[in-house]
Amino acid sequence: MPLQPYTGPFGREELKHLLRRTMFGVTRSDLAHFEGQSMEQVVNALLTVVNDTTPPIKFYTGGPNNAPDPNALDPQVPFGGTWVDTVRYGNEEELTELTVARIQSYIFWRMGLMVQQERTIREKMVLFWYNQMPAQVFSIFNPRLSYEYDQLLRNDCLGNHRTLMYDVTISGSMLLFLNGYLNTAAAPDENYARELLELFTLGEGSGYTEEDVQAAARVLTGWTVREQDLAEEIVLPYVIFRPSQHTTADKQFSAFFNNTVIQGQSGPSAGITELNALLDMIYAKEEVSRFICREIYRFFIHGEIDATTETAVIEPLAEVFRQHQGDADQLKQVMYALFTSDHFYSEQIRACMVMSPADLVIGAIRKLELPAPTPAQFQAQYLYWRDAYWLTAYAGQEILNPPNVAGWPAYYQFPSYDNVWLDTATYPARNNSMLGIIYTGFATGNNLFHVPSRNLEFKVDPVQLVAGFSDPFDPNVVVAEMADLLFAVPVSQAVRDQLKTNYLLLGQASDYYWSDAWEIYSNDPNTTDMTAQLVPQLLLWLMLDMAQAAETQLH
C-alpha cells in the first residue's frame, strides 16, 4: 500500500508546519519567500540541496587577553584563513592547544551554518545524520577529520543510503570514534561492527546474532588512520587499508543472513571488496528500510510509532526506500514521500513535538531577526556563533557532541522521546537561553585582535520587528502576529486580550493607549512623551513573557 498523499489545502499553517520540521524556526521572510507556492513546489525547493560551504577559518588568537596575538597560536595558519589544509604541529602542549582551537573553530562554524541556513533541509538533515551516526568531536580530537565527516554527511545527506554507509564506514572520524583503527587480524575489535548492525542499519533485535557481529568485525579488519607518511613526515590525516592486518579467512554469517559466506580476500583491494560484500548482504534485508524510515520518522515527525503508524506510514515509506535502493537520490525520494503525505499534515502531527534546544535557540535567533556580524567582522562572527552554540548546549543539546553513539535520547528513549528535552532542570535553562537572546543579545569586547570585530552589540530590536507587522498601531494585531511568530499552537482570544492588557496597555482599558504611544514613538524615537518612551520596553516585556510560554516550546 503506497503512502497516502496529502490532497488538502496548503495554506499558511501547513507551510509553517512544513518549515518548522525541515528548518530551524520560521521567519517572516521564509513565509514570504514561499507564499503562493504549491506543496510540491515548496517540498522540492527544500529538498534541493548542494554542498557549497566554505571551510572554517582561524578566528582564534594566543597571548594574554590584553595583547591577543594570532601568531602566538597556530602561526602557520594566517589569521582569517582556513586551517583545514594545514597539518597539526608542535610539541604535546602546543599540539593540544592548537587542536582545541581548531575544533572550536569547526564547531562554531558548524553552528553558523545552522544560524545562517539556506531555505532548504540541508542543515537539519546533516544534524539528523549526525544524531543517527554520531562521531563526538572531542573523542576524535582531530579537527580535520571532523570537518571531513561533516562534508561527507553534507554530500550524502539526501543521496543513496548504501553509499552513505560505505563512506561513513571508512571515514577517519568513525574509524577513530568506534575503534576501527584498532581492528586487526590479531585482535579484532567489534565496536564498529556492532553499531553498524544495531544502530546504523538494522536495529537491535532485528535477528542478527553475536556471531554475525564477530564475523562483520573480521570483514572490517585492516583499516586505520595515519598522520605521517612513509618518511615519518607529518601530513594531513588519511585513511589507509593495511592488507597485513586483515583477516583473510572466510567469514560465515548466520541463518538471519541466509548463511552467507563472505570469501576472505588478500591484497590491497581486500578491504574494499569485503566491505562491499558485507554491505550487499546487509542491504538485502528489508529490515534496513524499515529501521532507517523509523529513525527518520522519530527525528522529523514524532518519537512514538504505534501499530497503525507502522502499517500506514513506516511500511509504505520503507517501500519507497527499497524501490529507489539503487538510485543516487534514494533518500530524497523517501523524504519527498514523507513531506507530501497525508499523515504529515494531519492534526495530530502538528505541534506534537517538544522543540530540541537547537530548534528553540536557533529558531529564536532567526524568528526575532537578531542582527549579526558581517563576514568582514569575522572574529565577531565566530564569537557570535560560539555564544549561540553554548546557549544551545546550556538548554540541553551540545551540537556535534551527543552523549553517546546512540545519539540524543530524545530520538530513541522509549516512552519519553522528545519529552526528555523538557524537565524541571532543562525548562529553566531553556527559558534563560530565550531570555538571553531577547534581553541580552550578543556583544564583543574591546580586546579583540581584529579591529572591525571590537565593541559590537547585537540585540533584538522589538520596534523594528513589530514595524514589519501588518498593523503595528493596533495592539490586537501586534499580539496576534507576535503569537503567530513565536507560538506553534493558537491561543485563545482571552489569552491574547490578557497579554495585550498586561503589557501593551499597562492595564488600561482602551487600545488607544498603545496606538497613540506607537504613533508618537515611531515618528520620533527621541520623543519626550513619557508613555511613548515606554514603547520598546512594553514590546520587550511582551516578548519575554511569550518566550517562556508552553506554546513556544512546541513545533
What average pLDDT does the segment 209-214 reach?
98
Render pLDDT for 316-366 as a digit per residue (tens, 0 to 9).
999 999 999 999 999 999 999 999 999 999 999 999 999 999 999 999 999
Same domain, 276 and 161: yes
- For residue 535, being part of any structural domain is answered with yes
Domain coverage including residue 198: 140-283
- For residue 538, being part of any structural domain is answered with yes
Helices (H), 263-419: 270-283, 287-300, 307-309, 315-323, 330-339, 357-367, 378-394
Amino acid at 546: M
Q: Return the beta strands (E) in 164-287 as ranges.
A: 223-228, 234-241, 251-252, 261-262
Same domain, 164 and 227: yes
Among residues 359, 442, 378, 395, the alpha carbon closest in space to that of 117 is found at 359
Amino acid at 50: V
- For residue 448, being part of any structural domain is answered with no
Task: Output the average pLDDT for the chain.
Answer: 97
Is residue 360 within 8 Å of residue 395, measured between CB atoms?
yes
- For residue 316, being part of any structural domain is answered with yes
Cis peptide before 415 (omega within 30 of 0): yes
Render pLDDT for 527-542 as a digit per residue (tens, 0 to 9).
999 999 999 999 999 9
Residue 213 is predicted with a pLDDT of: 98
Is residue 364 within 8 Å of residue 25, measured between CB atoms?
yes
- For residue 133, being part of any structural domain is answered with no
Amino acid at 485: L
Residue 246, class by beta-carbon neighbours within 10 Å (0-12 exposed, 13-18 middle, 19+ buried)?
Answer: buried
Q: Measure the CA–CA gap between 78 and 15, rounded to whole angstroms.
A: 44
Classified as helix, coil or strand, 302 is: coil
Cell readout for 444 is 564583543
pTM for the structure as a whole: 0.96
H/E element, 457? strand 457-458
Q: Indicate the number of domains in the chain.
A: 3
Cell readout for 229 is 607518511
Helix, strand, coil in percent for the chain, rounding step 5: 55, 5, 40
- For residue 537, being part of any structural domain is answered with yes
Position 230 confidence tier, pLDDT thresholds 50, 70, 90: confident
Is residue 230 within 8 Å of residue 279, measured between CB atoms?
no
- For residue 103, being part of any structural domain is answered with no
What average pLDDT does the segment 512-539 reach?
97
Render pLDDT for 71-111 as a digit per residue (tens, 0 to 9).
999 999 999 999 999 999 999 999 999 999 999 999 999 99
Q: Measure the CA–CA gap between 480 and 474, rounded to whole angstroms.
A: 10
Same domain, 154 and 271: yes
Same domain, 299 and 238: no
Same domain, 200 and 298: no
Domain end (from 273, 305, 339): 339
Render pLDDT for 267-324 as a digit per residue (tens, 0 to 9).
999 999 999 999 999 999 999 999 999 999 999 999 999 999 999 999 999 999 999 9
Domain end (from 283, 318, 350): 283
CA pseudo-torsion sign 66, 72, 74, 76? positive
Same domain, 205 and 334: no
Domain end (from 257, 283, 309): 283
Position 403 confidence tier, pLDDT thresholds 50, 70, 90: very high
Is residue 405 within 8 Å of residue 134, measured between CB atoms?
yes
CA dihedral (310, 312, 315, 319) in degrees, to 10, reads -160
Same domain, 159 and 263: yes
Q: What is the DSSP letter of 82?
A: B
Q: Measure the CA–CA gap between 236 and 226, rounded to whole angstroms.
A: 8
pLDDT above 80: residue 114: yes
Cell readout for 321 is 526506500
Residue 209, class by beta-carbon neighbours within 10 Å (0-12 exposed, 13-18 middle, 19+ buried)?
Answer: middle
CA dihedral (383, 384, 387, 388) in degrees, to 10, reads -140
Same domain, 264 and 153: yes
CA pseudo-torsion sign 18, 22, 25, 26? negative
- For residue 346, being part of any structural domain is answered with no
Render pLDDT for 17-61 as a digit per residue (tens, 0 to 9).
999 999 999 999 999 999 999 999 999 999 999 999 999 999 999
Same domain, 533 and 466: yes
Amino acid at 331: L
For 31, other C-beta atoms within 10 Å of its C-beta total 15
Same domain, 161 and 262: yes
Render pLDDT for 170-196 as a digit per residue (tens, 0 to 9).
999 999 999 999 999 999 999 999 999
Same domain, 261 and 294: no
Same domain, 151 and 40: no
What average pLDDT does the segment 112-131 reach?
98
